[in-house]
Amino acid sequence: MVAAVSLQNVHKVYNNTCVVNDLSLAIQPGEIFGLLGPNGAGKSTTIRMLTTLAQQTQGDIVVAGYDVSRQAAQVRSQIGVVLQQISVDADMTVWENMEFHGRMHHIPAGQRKNDIRRWLDYVELTDRAQDKVKTLSGGMKRRLQIARALLHQPSILFLDEPTVGLDPQTRRRLWEIIKGLNKDQGMTMLLTTHYMEEVEYLCDRIGIMDQGQLIESGTLQELRAKHGEGIVMKQKGDRWEYLFFPTLEAANQYLDGQPDKTGMMTRPANLEDIFVELTGRNLD
């Protein structure tokens, strides 16, 4: 199977600093891939290179079968992008934002009108079509960004921290929209986020970046199997020490064998535990 997104030995250097360092990664068609990393790990730079907003210093990037360096226009026709920053025009109406995007992609008038209705209905904004964007809530603006990104029927959707700053209820509504697009449309997605539960709920595979490098990748089950499915936590002053074990049963056996169990407990390992173990830092 030909990868939907492929990076081979990619480097990006800014001001003599290597912010992406020898990155190789493949995302398969129909897959939701979550890219995690602390601030400054190189995630956003990677997204910018994949979406033709930045040029790699070295290496090869192919998106939807097109080389991002030599075939940028073809790449842009195949991708949708939802950035962390709100990028819709606040002084235009919801419909006008969609209309402008459709014209930019040369969608014929009749089809454009039908597609705008379709995607506004999908993200539940039909009743706000004639309202100016500045009157919308943060969650509505993010849903509009998703609808706009889908208007030209891309095969791959890039989501750079799409739910940052939203309340939990709105965030979960966006999760359902994203999950539905993948299930109903078979859409390939690359997602960056600071919410571990978002990755656990949405993503088929996970990649962890640190200091410009991909230091780990796999399914959540594979990561837990590799790094340990059980944890013994031991309190030391105001901090916790974590010990990984292959299984929760092994962690319980270790705890049972301790003469003094004060400040100790066991639990299943989660993605955040693995992330901190690999990077030495919390995600946020």
pLDDT, tens only, 204-257 = 999 999 999 999 999 999 999 999 999 999 998 888 889 999 999 999 999 999
Query: How confident is the model at residue 238, as a pLDDT?
Result: 84
For residue range 126-159, what is the model confidence (pLDDT) as tens digits? 999 999 999 999 999 999 999 999 999 999 999 9
Domain extent listing, the chain: 5-222, 229-268
**5-222: what fold?**
Rossmann fold (3.40.50)
What pLDDT, on a 0 to 100 scale, did the predictor assign at position 284? 46
Mean pLDDT, rounded, for 99-103: 96
Residues contacting residue 172 through CB under 8 Å, at least 6 positions apart: none
Predicted pLDDT of residue 282 = 52
Give me the mean pLDDT over the 17-39 stretch. 95
pLDDT at 283 over 60: no
Look at residue 281 and tell me whether its pLDDT is greater than 80. Answer: no
On the question of pLDDT at 6 being above 90, the answer is yes
